[in-house]
Amino acid sequence: MDLTDRRILQIVQRDARITFRELSERLGISITSVQKRLVSLERAGIIQGYTAHISLAALGGCFVLIHGRSRANFAIEIMDILGGHEAVSTVLCGGQNHLYVGAFIRKMDHLDEVVTFIKEAGQIPEPEALIFNTSSDITCVMNPKGESADAAELTNLDHRIIWALHEDARRPLAEVAADVGVSAKTASIRLERMTSKGLIEFHVAALPHLYASEVLLTVKIRPDANRRKIVEMMREDPECFVDEDITFCNAPNTVLFTLEVENMDQLFRLLKRVIRFDGVESIYHDVLLHQKYYPTWRDKLLKERAVPLVPRSSK
């Protein structure tokens, strides 16, 4: 993966249905080059797939990161056990048996049950639960307009359109329309409405660590520090590619960066710079070894709601 591949992946992760032409214009390369690179990322397994869901915000849920060091002999071997819980969407394993579990929580009173499961199944004696902030650079929590969404606004047709895109969010609209039995214009109008209201969410399952060293860098900042300035300094650093910056509702002085470096020497130099940033209190880094994605209660819920209306019997 070169810098252009990383930028393509970064853009597509935030806008799964972006067209080849739009990508071409944003990157300043030909449409043919964009197509070839995207196909190459898919064939290499870096892009695992594109999915669509009812948005987490519209369902009243939240995304939580539960992490800690596992006492298992080899933490990678218990990732699938963790992924068996209906709330767990992804599990990452870093060095020193550290596990990072992303979970979709239906309601906050379900959090304790999920944390307890991960603590026991993951053999993590002291798990920490961090609730993603809506300002985080993560598709399932981003809310740029700051508006509330309500899944009750979704019609049966809306649910069927989302389901038609569920396993391939980049499907042509004409195919989606044919699947649900409406015109392409109607499907387009419904999709635009859902997108503008924050009722639909697209996600790209990606594994960039397969071809690059991916690092999870946790930065603790002082309460009086300018968090946004620190994020900007990280993104402007010439020796690393910052993919995501994540903040948490219940840990306002913590920023988690996912970034890529070319080698350990480059990482070492980066860490020496970051610890000297004005306002940084401490840092902790972990190199990602493995990541997997899992279906959750949201997939089951969408399938149930996407059942076509049963036609009335004629009298």
Do the domain assignments include residue 37? yes
> What is the average pLDDT across 294-300?
96
Cβ count within 10 A of residue 263:
8
Q: Does residue 8 lie within any of the structural domains?
A: yes
Evaluate whether residue 175 is within a structural domain.
no
> Which residues lie below 8 Å from residue 258, measured CB to CB, with a gap of 6+?
214, 215, 216, 217, 242, 243, 244, 246
Q: What is the pLDDT of residues 41-88, one digit of tens each?
A: 999 999 999 999 999 999 999 999 999 999 999 999 999 999 999 999
Q: What is the pLDDT of residue 147?
A: 62
Mean of pLDDT over the chain = 91
* Residues in the chain, overall count: 315
pLDDT value at position 310? Answer: 46
Residue 30 placed within a domain: yes
Angle between helices 297-305 and 156-165 (to 10 degrees): 130
Per-residue pLDDT tens digits for 258-284? 999 888 999 999 999 999 999 999 999
Give the pLDDT band (50/70/90) at residue 143: low
The encoded tokens of residue 191 equal 């999709």
The pLDDT of residue 138 is: 75
Number of structural domains, the chain? 1
Neighbours of 43 (CB within 10 A): 9
> In CATH, what number is assigned to the domain containing residue 40?
1.10.10.10
Give burial (CB, 10 Å; 0-12/13-18/19+) of 10: middle
pTM, two decimal places = 0.91
Q: Name the percent of the chain lying above pLDDT 70.
A: 95
Distance (Å, whole) CA 302 – CA 150: 15
In a domain, 38, yes or no: yes
The answer to whether residues 63 and 298 touch, using CB atoms and an 8 Å cutoff, is: no
Is there a domain that residue 248 lies in? Answer: no
- Structural domain harbouring 16: 3-44
pLDDT in tens, 181-195: 999 999 999 999 999
110: in domain:
no
Distance CA(205)–CA(96), nearest Å, equals 25
| Residue 154 belongs to a domain | no
User: Would you say residue 314 has pLDDT above 50?
Assistant: no
Residue 81: CB atoms within 10 Å: 16
